[in-house]
Each structure stands twice: as structure tokens, then as C-alpha cells.
Amino acid sequence: MFIDRARIYIKAGNGGKGCESFYYKRGMRYRRRDGGNGGIGGNVIMRADPNVHTLLDFRYRQHFKAESGKHGGSNLKNGSNGEDRIILVPPGTIIRDEENGLLIRDLNSENEQVIAVKGGAAGKGNYRGRPATEGGQGQEKIISLELKLIADVGLIGYPNAGKSSFVNTVSEAKSKVANFPFTTICPVLGVVKSSQSHKRFVVADIPGIIKDAHKGKGLGLEFLRHIERTKLLLFLIDMSAAEGRQPVDDYLNLINEIESYDMQLMKRPRVLVANKMDLPASKENLKDFKAQIKEKIYRSSCISGEGIQKITEALFKKLNEAHRWENV
């Protein structure tokens, strides 16, 4: 299951009532109107916080309300405004109005925020010579949240090819590694830092893809939306053919699946990596692979560490060409 969609109910605060009040002292000819204004209702604000990584919390909590404005008082006392309610979501969260599907905001950059529902207007007190008014109702909405992870590099490979091992080797991520298919079911992000400069990039480990995934086989292809925004794809092929498939077939099938999901995705620059080069069968298989696939192929082993440095350098270089840097 992917915890990257959520539906929540949000309600902004109501405006506080204006006060209807009169001041009278013996000797005064007329009563004086002295009712103060109410306070404005608080807004519900959605903010992209870099320390939040999933929409998991929304599974347990789906109702959020901002504070209402306080009512006005006599003696021209204005009610205080209601506090805004700030809901933190991961950067990359798309917020829509559930009712009509309209986009409210695509919170792409860190600390970007949007008022999702506005607080009610303040009621007016009667001090102006007119009767006091009620405060406005705060808006309410059901909104849908969808998280598309923002990564620079997306990892594509069959189950068990070593994608998670690769991400764990190049970054500080702790993606689960095990010798069975579909170990990874939720996307995991890793930050790769350059040893020479302050540059970094984000790599996304996603579930494995198998032949006919576009027809729903395995875990399907729905999770590919997490890498729609990447600048670069890294194809990781198990060169040891431990599971009896031919590495060339794996590669061609993967390309086929990606194309059937989105032709545009295959137009991205890509890096092709032959993994598990520490295993004896891999060398021979790589020869056959090279005979058929005329692309630059990087060798790697997540066990011995072979090729890892070279691959990260190549990724830095390619991403540099794509001009998408963030400083640490």
C-alpha cells in the first residue's frame, strides 16, 4: 500500500460576533452604542515542510479546524482574531478540492504555503450606529492530498536487481533489502552528497517492475508517478541472471513498460548499470549484453563497492548538465 494519498476535512474559523451594547450613565441624554467588533476567523494553511516525508499521519487524523474569532465586547472591546491552523505536508504535495477536483496548489518548494480555506469575516459591533452583525462562517472543504516525491534520479529495475542496496550504498537511506521480490513497496528517498563539493541530489528507490506491469502484474506501474519529475533515470540490471531471465530481456522489458506508461519518460537522459558484477556468471552475461545493447554500461557491485564511485560521478555530471542543483 502506498501512503501517498490522503483525504482530509478542513474548516476555517468563524468570524466572531459583533457586540450589541449600550453605555448609559445618569445624566446622559442618550445611551451610547459601545459594542466592539468580533475577531476574524483563522485560516487553514497548508505548508510544505522539508522535515515531513510522508502523508502517513493523515491516516490517523483527518479533521483539522482553525480557531474562530472571539466575539466583540462592550466598551468598544474588539474580539481577538482566531489563530491560523497550519498543516505540514511534504514538499511535492498536490492539493485539490475533492468536490470538483480543482487544483488548489502544487506545493513544490520547501516552505511554500497556501491558504486552503479562509476564515470568516469579523462581525461588526454596534458602535458605528448600526445594529451589530454576526461573524461570517469559515469556509470548509474536503481536500485531497497527493504526494509525488521530488527526486532527481529515479531507479528502474526488476525486483531483486539490487535497487535498494544501491540506494543504501550511495546515500544514507535505509531502504529495506532482502532476497525476495517486491521487498520495496513504498518509495524511499536517499540524498547523495558529493565528496568534492556541496552539491547533492536525491535518488528515489521504487518497487520493482516486471513484464506486463502495465497490465497490473506485480505491483503495477502506478508508483511510477513518483519518478515523473526526475531529471534522470537509472536502469539497474541484475547481470548475474540469478533468476533465470536474460539481462537483455530484462532491459528491453523495462523500456517497454516505461514506454507504455509514458512515452515522455523514456526521453529522459538515462544511465545504464550492470549490477551484481561480483558474482561469477555476471562477466559472461555482460559480454552478451554488450554485444546486443550499444549503450554506455556502468558496472557495479553493491557488495564489493565496485563502480559505485564512478556511477555517482556520472550522475552528478549528467545532472549538472540538466541544471538542477540544490546546495546543502
Residues lying near ligand GTP in the complex (CB under 6 A) are found at 157, 159-165, 177-179, 181-184, 207-208, 275-276, 278-279, 301-303
Quick one: 132 or 311, whose CB is closer to ligand GTP? 311
By CB under 5 A, tell whether 168 contacts Mg ion: no
- Number of Cβ within 10 Å of residue 122's Cβ equals 28
DSSP-based three-state secondary structure for 5: strand
303 binds, among Mg ion, ligand GTP, none (CB under 5 to 8 A by kind): ligand GTP
55 closest CA partner among 240, 226, 237: 226
User: Based on CB atoms, which residue is closest to ligand GTP, 179 or 327?
Assistant: 179
Q: Which of 54, 49, 19, 13 is nearest to 33 (CA)?
A: 19
With CB cut-offs between 5 and 8 Å by kind, which of ligand GTP, Mg ion, none does residue 157 bind? ligand GTP
**DSSP code per residue over 166-186:** HHHHHSS------SSTT---S
Q: Nearer to ligand GTP by C-beta: 243 or 313?
A: 243
Interaction of residue 186 with Mg ion, rule CB under 5 A: no
End-to-end CA gap in the chain: 32
State the pairing for strand pair 232-238/270-275.
Answer: parallel
State in angstroms the smallest separation of the CB of 217 from Mg ion.
Answer: 17
Cell of 19: 457586540
Q: 19 vs 192, which CB is nearer to Mg ion?
A: 192
Distance (Å, whole) CA 182 – CA 191? 22
DSSP state of 288: H
Q: Which does 14 bind (CB under 5 to 8 A by kind): Mg ion, ligand GTP, none?
A: none
Taking the C-alpha atoms of residue 119 and residue 126, their distance in angstroms, rounded to an integer, is 22
* Separation CA 183–CA 63 (nearest Å): 33
Work out how close the CB of 262 gets to ligand GTP at its nearest, in angstroms, rounded to a whole number. 20
Nearest residue (CB) to ligand GTP, 67 versus 250 = 250
Q: Which does 165 bind (CB under 5 to 8 A by kind): Mg ion, ligand GTP, none?
A: ligand GTP
Binding of residue 181 to Mg ion (CB under 5 A): no
Q: What is the SS3 assignment for 238-286?
A: ECCCCCCCCHHHHHHHHHHHHHHHCHHHHHCCEEEEEECCCCHHHHHHH
Residues numbered 282 to 301 that lie near Mg ion (CB under 5 A) are none
Work out how close the CB of 188 gets to ligand GTP at its nearest, in angstroms, rounded to a whole number.
Answer: 9
The closest residue (CB) to Mg ion is 184
Smallest separation (angstroms) from ligand GTP to the CB of 215: 18
Q: Cβ 177 to Mg ion, closest distance in Å?
A: 7
**Cell 550499444, located at residue:** 294
Q: Based on CB atoms, which residue is closest to Mg ion, 11 or 163?
A: 163
The nearest distance, CB 276 to ligand GTP, in angstroms, is 4
Backbone φ and ψ of 48, nearest 5°: -85, 115
C-beta of 251: minimal distance to ligand GTP in Å? 14
The site partner of 230 among Mg ion, ligand GTP, none (C-beta below 5 to 8 Å per kind) is: none
Site of interaction with Mg ion (CB under 5 A): 163-164, 183-184
